[in-house]
Amino acid sequence: MNGLDRGKIARRRFIQWCLLPIVPITIALGWKYPLLGFSVLLVMITAMAGGVLGGRYVCGTLCPRGSFFDRIVQKISFNSPIPTAFRNKKFRWLLFAAMMGFMIFRISQNPTSMVHWGRVFWLMCVITTVIGLTVGILIHPRAWCAFCPMGTMQNALGGRKYQLKIDAEACLECGLCEKACPLSLPIVKYKNDGFVQNTDCLNCPECAAACPVNALTRTASKSTLVSSEASQYDNVN
């Protein structure tokens, strides 16, 4: 790991430690102070805007719950492989539709009350965090992130941006990058393509920092090398 990579890793982890308290604070106090639930809406808006600008970067670095999973849950997780079913495209969009529908339905019951809105957002946070913690501990810290509705939205909005470039000649196929990847993406699989053609990449520095031969670099601009089929690791129909 070179000095630049160390700096990126340190910066990412510092940001995550700063953001992760938002989750327990919102869950613990949101029932009494419903307006805290609007932190959930803020994260959702940030995720969608971030998806347009930088793919799943928000998921990888700026998501309070993702930060909690990386820094806390990782220490107690069984760290098993993320099931392929969790990455299934149809499953992810069905879950997205169900959760958005549930949220809209609940808000519609009292649409003029900001307190009611806050309670709905708080409830959504509780439900999704319980699911995330369960699969995070029993399976993989970031298992929830494989099918998180906001992650799916970021994937669709900008998953093809700022791809990871692989130096095929330098790559040793040691797999250290895949072990370091928060979502355990099959990075080596894309060696001969030259780019990690996977729209679920979190655009974090973990894999590049783990590479002993510096074979991984982030592209500085949008890549046009991705086809609609090759770019989807979750196209399990």
Per-residue pLDDT, 225: 39
Residue 233 has pLDDT above 60, yes or no: no
Q: Where are the beta strands (DSSP E) in the chain?
A: 164-166, 216-218
Domain-terminating residue out of 157, 174, 207: 157
Q: Which amino acid is at 221?
A: S
Q: Is residue 185 part of a domain?
A: yes
Compute the average pLDDT of residues 157-171. 87
Domain shared by 205 and 95, yes or no = no
Residue 117 has pLDDT above 80, yes or no: yes
DSSP designation for 30: T
CATH of the domain at 214: 3.30.70.20
For residue range 141-155, what is the model confidence (pLDDT) as tens digits? 999 999 999 999 998
Question: Distance between CA atoms of 212 and 214, rounded to whole angstroms?
Answer: 6
Q: Is residue 178 part of a domain?
A: yes
Domain shared by 44 and 95, yes or no = yes
Phi-psi group of 203: left, alpha or beta (phi > 0 → left; psi -120 to 50 → alpha; rest → beta): left
Question: Distance between CA atoms of 197 and 201, rounded to whole angstroms?
Answer: 9
For residue range 45-78, what is the model confidence (pLDDT) as tens digits? 999 999 888 889 999 999 999 999 999 999 999 9
Q: Which domain holds residue 63?
A: 3-157
Q: Is residue 236 part of a domain?
A: no
Polymer length of the chain = 237
Domain count, the chain: 2
Domain shared by 101 and 152, yes or no = yes
Domain shared by 147 and 176, yes or no = no
Per-residue pLDDT, 3: 62
